[in-house]
Structure 1
């Protein structure tokens, strides 16, 4: 674990575990979480001999609670700077939700040799918000509602979100884990409210279409068809179509947080892709 200071003084908390000469997998978390959201995946791959890296995005977790730079260009620049600092090459970058947007924005800008593969899990690309160009997107009012919730009572929102749509715990017959809900809340409340508020615009309004078109590394797009946070039809299939070298894997009935609720399946599929 370490702290790396980028050019504007922001300190990024990161984990870097495993053999320094091992094959590298870098995990990028969703909103408003932290690198801890990848604990299960980090341990799974660490125990198989991989070098695993994850960082807390600026404004999130143990990184600086920034009031500026809470948008995709700066998120990607932070990853570029940290990758230079760690001097990692041939990395597989795995992003969930907002983290998938960060990954796409980074991989499209990464220095030659830094990236070998990319994985998007329940990710926000190509673009979430509804518009004339994206008629299948979610209305801006949805994101305005999330912003209002952050401002009015962030703590309650960070209980309601994992209790309901994030993990599909609002579905009939769902096996609910209070520990998972509490851990989501813990991670959310570690971050800064200004950064979390700004990030809603970043994950909902950024158009990643051009990023996806530029990326030619082998890519795996994983998405649950019961994702209530990033709807399947306007995300996974469209991203896979825009990428030059992508495989779409659809998970019937899986929720947005499927890397937690179905970690055994997701980890096995990640391993197959990374080894392939």
Structure 2
């Protein structure tokens, strides 16, 4: 449209990824290119070193996932976690704990675990992150069903462009169980993260142009066997972005936000 102001180009630093069969970005990057092999046997869950050993054992899977990729992304970006505002995203928080909460409240509320209640809130993971890193910057916890990563990326990009400040973006999800599984399809563990920067730095691996686009929305096609195998997790809308980062194909992506609205991305790989 003539006269339309386009959002500024932004930059991606420190991609991080974790799934039981791809526990780390380098493994995932190779697999998304069709070059690597899956981890055998699959890892059970990450062990984020940000937490003390006792906290690490008690932390639910959502927290372990989120902190693992958040720490990896910040380390790869060369930035200080204390200075980074952040956006964390999952479909509904901890799906397993939420199922436990609902079933316990329905059967015998007196048996409700205070620890599980503490970990049931949607911002539990970002709370652990803020405490563990000492970060006092702004934090958001986004929930948008099966378009949560796209919604969080839009939030992070908007904040980054408006404030001219780097933003940590983290997406994670766990299996849905009980009645929740009938409304939310989510299997396995998966998490992904990167830092969105308003300027190109020596740690930037890609740039991206972005805009909202109206009209019918449909999830992008995944090309690798590795990405398709993970496509049943609720944060799977992150997979096209990470597959594009791995392959550097520069093709436009339309990430659904709603039935008639998408986030349009055009990624460009940057030379090492």
Question: Whose strand proportion is higher, 1 or 2?
Answer: 2
Give the greater-gyration-radius structure (CA). Answer: 2
Normalized against structure 1, the TM-score is what? 0.31
Higher relative contact order (CA 8 A, sep 6+): 2
Question: Whose helix proportion is higher, 1 or 2?
Answer: 1
Normalized against structure 2, the TM-score is what? 0.31
